[in-house]
Structure 1
């Protein structure tokens, strides 16, 4: 890794977090707000599809987030490599505001705080995706659906990754071009509203 790669890689990862991954979380959240069975026991006509979309979004988020934090050697994790390069090349990087070494260590500590979520995600990735374990075929309790990290665990990891990348962005003086949160929220809310309209 060199300085140019560090700048481009951190920008790419930051944009990916703020757009595609956050869109998935917003969509999951708004789908989760839809009552698939109402108070009278009436099933939403798109209830099965809504459930499949939610499960698929959790699979997608698991794989995307694991790409940021998974490697057999923890020092080779993408987000850790970025922080390591920043620490080792503090004077070479064209920061707008040079971060202190203690502030960079604080970013690493954020990852330590979600170590349990990362470990579970790595376990599921290895057991069900990278090295398929056929136990789940004959044991329903070992199925992928039951093993998936909760959306809260995935969200906690997302928030940590986003916080670290925002830290790098700000110290590089990189402007966040668009406020994607509002756009993601509106688009997903409208999609959920259309599903509800079909129900009525």
Structure 2
């Protein structure tokens, strides 16, 4: 069957199976930053936005995206890098497998609440599991991200740590663990 949808701002007509899950369709179409782990909607690594709302793509049939806008980590490079800088500065970036789903949930929270409290952050991200970092460093990183958005210089991470990414010369996708890698030096991601 045909699926008419928009992925990261690009209109697509895709041939899919009626029982295909969105995570599989996205990955088959080049959105490799969308991770797959539990396939039961319990870990959050597959989080994407559907019409601006965070959804778990491993339990959502792709047909539900008919006529709708899908945004993956590849579709939010500037915000993803800003959050990744905070993650690096706070040591919340170990294996990176969960990061793309966490970033997408942070961006959804930001759309709901411009300056969330610590309790709101913790409540909103309770469905994002991380086996590496523990959650204290992630919480510090997320708070630093929101502080930066508010211009709160006193709450930002150490300047030297925040510049770590700039000094590596890495591309946008390289700065976000789990994001697809560019196919050229121009930062373009493979379709």
- Same fold flag (TM > 0.5): no
Say which structure is richer in helix: 1
Name the TM-score, length of structure 2 as normaliser. 0.25
RCO higher in structure (CA 8 A, sep ≥6)? 1
Point out the structure with max Rg over C-alpha: 1
Using structure 1 for the length normalisation, give the TM-score: 0.24
Q: Which protein has the bigger strand share?
A: 2
